[in-house]
Structure 1
Amino acid sequence: MTRRSPGEDEDTVSEGRALLAMGALALMWGSSFFWIKIGLNAFSPTQLVLVRLVLGAAVLMALCLAQRHRLPAGRRLWAHLAVAALFHNAVPFLLFAIGEQTVNSGVTGVLNATTPLWALAVALVWGLERRPGRAQLGGLLLGFAGVLLIFAPWSATGLVSWGALAILAASASYGFVMVYEGRFLADAGASPIALAGAQMLTASGFLLLVMPVAGTTPIRLEPGALAAVAVLGVFSTGIAFALNYRLIAAQGAVATSTVGYLLPVVSVLLGTLLLDEALSPRVVAGMVVVLVGVALSRRRPAPVAVPAAAEPHAPAR
């Protein structure tokens, strides 16, 4: 019998914990569309998003206090945070809530899976992604072909509607802001949790500005819907963001990003099993095509080997 070393045992335990954490993150983020659907029974979209952001910000700020993280400083940094708060929180959260008034939560999760495709498209347009490989371009085209299959504008049963377009716009907003944050906030020199907390506080301020216009609908005191929004804000927003940053620090951004493949699966299962949402074979096929496209779009072309004789000489120091 082969004996395992203590180091191997520790690696196995840490890997197991990472897998559990990734599963928990997939469940919290994937279930957010389920909670939104239930929460809309009590709140208007604007009210729901404001409560979600305030609760999420409260969780993150409490973690900042407990871990003694300082809020970021500097006008330029806060300007970038304002852009991130608008396009990572306020706008997409609101668009998802508006869209789910008419679109199933499972379909919402499927359309949200297009976020990496939008991010790649934005990076290409912005000139930040140089020399994309054939797999990336093929994945981009395949992913958007999957979206077209889901929408099916040629069919009477297609999903072309303002609600579905709002959800797709929310995913595009995520894609844009992922590239923006990578360029302007990745090396901000502040704690990621502090950045996220400041970002959500700013997004809450944006929603407060909208409340007098779009948030005056009376709230229905339905216990299930109130509990759903509480779970959405505390777990699917605040704790999920904090857990995501911990996983990135422990496992790396690439490994953590694989959680994205599980989100549509979680949202579809919850919607089908608990909300009796029906998914047509066309939508399921579109989801598969989108996920394959996303997987291909994340492949990086192999680096071209440079012969030793052709390598440039290092400059004299």
Structure 2
Amino acid sequence: MTNSSSASMSLLQWALLLLLSVLWGGSFFFNGVALQQIPVITVVFSRVFLAAIALLIILKIRGISFPTDKDLLFAFIIMGLLNNLIPFCLIVSGQTMISSGLASVLNATTPLFTALVAHFFSREEAERLGPRRISGIMFGIAGVAILLGPTIGTVGFTGDQVIGQIAVLIATLCYGFGVVYTRRVSKSGLPPIVTAAGQLCASSIMMLPIMLVMDQPWAFATELSLHVYVALAGLALLSTALAYILYFHLISSAGATNASLVTLVIPVSAILMGYLFLSEEVTVQMILGMIVIGLGLLIIDGRLLKKNTQKSPV
């Protein structure tokens, strides 16, 4: 039975959250390879389009019908806008004005915005903000800032830098609304794979004209290397199709705020993968950041605090 009514997550849900962080952490590697030869908008479109095709094939094989209800189709459009189109464009634009490290720290505020949106727009008691949840999220954001400290650079307050920071923050706010809205859609009983396919199809349709006008992919499509195609496949199948199935399952079973905690863990996964597979250095500062993030997650989970409270006299 799922734990949708509780603010704490089960061990299985935590395991799925960690797996999701690995899948989304790996997207940075796939993006880096693909962007060597493909413009940004084409990479994003290829990611959502190929993932949508893969999920539609799986639905066909499993004999699951794609919904044709007008309300659900409209919901997929809203989800595509809030979870993909608007935040992707804002983050990409923001990263042209601020450092990637600062963008990552600002992106880690997603659980905070999600918690605020869920508090005011969700009727579920488990989504209500409390001191413990706020404290845990703030610890997590602080941990990400420590973790990425050397890459953040100087936080500037010139016109372009402020605009870039605001763009990324608006993107995280979109994610907050997106995850809460997706939580409502999931209550219709749709399997996570159907929800994921619907959102990705809507995102693909909306992004197609943008990609054709801005990037004109026919100009470079015949000159791509094999490793770029492999990177696109990994980005679409692992970091998008499979990742969204897990994400929507977590939203449905663990709640909006809990599912959004993945943005705190992604930097940890990215650094550990760099250490394990690329022989990248792990510093004392990185370890400290990971510890602070872990402390924040433990505070949010609440079980250790409950055990201590139970042992203490009232």
TM-score by length of 2: 0.69
Tell which deviates more after alignment, 158-167 or 129-138: 158-167
AA of the residue aligned to 1:239: L
Structure 2: distance between partners of 1:214 and 1:275 = 34
Query: Helix, strand or coil for the counterpart of 2:187?
Result: coil
Query: Helix, strand or coil for the counterpart of 2:190?
Result: coil
Q: Which residue of 2 aligns with 1:135?
A: 132
Deviation at 1:96, TM superposition (A): 4.8
Q: How is 1:117-128 mapped onto 2 (pairs within 5 angstroms)?
A: 117-126=112-121, 128=123
Query: Helix, strand or coil for the counterpart of 1:83?
Result: helix
Q: Which residue of 2 aligns with 1:215?
A: 215
1:193 matched to 2:210: no
Structure 2: distance between partners of 1:279 and 1:104 = 20
> Which residue of the other structure, out of 50, 56, 64, is the alignment partner of 1:61?
56
> What whole-Å deviation, never above 9, does each CA across 1:239-270 have from its counterpart, x for those lacking one?
33335567889xx537x959836432221234
Contact 2:102 2:153 in 1 (8 A): no
CA RMSD, Structure 1 to Structure 2 (Å): 4.4
Contact 2:54 2:237 in 1 (8 A): yes
* Inter-CA distance 51–141: structure 2 relative to 1 (3 Å threshold): same
> Which residue of the other structure, out of 46, 57, 68, is the alignment partner of 1:51?
46
Q: Which residue of 2 aligns with 1:205?
A: 205
Q: Which residue of 2 aligns with 1:311?
A: none
Deviation at 1:30, TM superposition (A): 1.9
Query: Helix, strand or coil for the counterpart of 1:190?
Result: coil
Structure 1 residue runs of 5 or longer lacking an equivalent are 1-14, 303-317
> What whole-Å deviation, never above 9, does each CA across 1:205-226 have from its counterpart, x for those lacking one?
1111312442237536233333
Deviation at 1:141, TM superposition (A): 4.2
Q: How is 1:255-266 mapped onto 2 (pairs within 5 angstroms)?
A: 257=259, 260=262, 262-266=265-269
AA of the residue aligned to 2:209: L
AA of the residue aligned to 2:183: G
Q: Count how many residue pairs are aligned between Structure 1 and Structure 2.
A: 282
* Inter-CA distance 247–78: structure 2 relative to 1 (3 Å threshold): closer
Deviation at 1:232, TM superposition (A): 0.2
Larger Rg: 1
> Which residue of the other structure, out of 66, 77, 81, is the alignment partner of 1:82?
77
Structure 1: distance between partners of 2:62 and 2:179 = 26
TM-score by length of 1: 0.68
Percent of pairs identical after alignment? 29
Q: Which residue of 1 aligns with 2:180?
A: 179
* Inter-CA distance 208–258: structure 2 relative to 1 (3 Å threshold): closer
> Which residue of the other structure, out of 234, 240, 243, is the alignment partner of 1:240?
243
* Inter-CA distance 189–24: structure 2 relative to 1 (3 Å threshold): closer
Query: Helix, strand or coil for the counterpart of 1:189?
Result: coil
Deviation at 1:125, TM superposition (A): 3.8
* Inter-CA distance 98–266: structure 2 relative to 1 (3 Å threshold): farther
* Inter-CA distance 80–291: structure 2 relative to 1 (3 Å threshold): farther
> What whole-Å deviation, never above 9, does each CA across 1:62-95 have from its counterpart, x for those lacking one?
1111111111232222222111111112233444
Deviation at 1:284, TM superposition (A): 7.0
Query: Helix, strand or coil for the counterpart of 1:31?
Result: helix
Structure 2: distance between partners of 1:98 and 1:272 = 29
* Inter-CA distance 207–29: structure 2 relative to 1 (3 Å threshold): same
* Inter-CA distance 92–138: structure 2 relative to 1 (3 Å threshold): same
Contact 1:111 1:147 in 2 (8 A): no
Deviation at 1:55, TM superposition (A): 0.8
Deviation at 1:174, TM superposition (A): 2.1
Tell which deviates more after alignment, 88-97 or 51-60: 88-97
> Which residue of the other structure, out of 153, 158, 161, is the alignment partner of 1:157?
153
Contact 2:105 2:144 in 1 (8 A): no
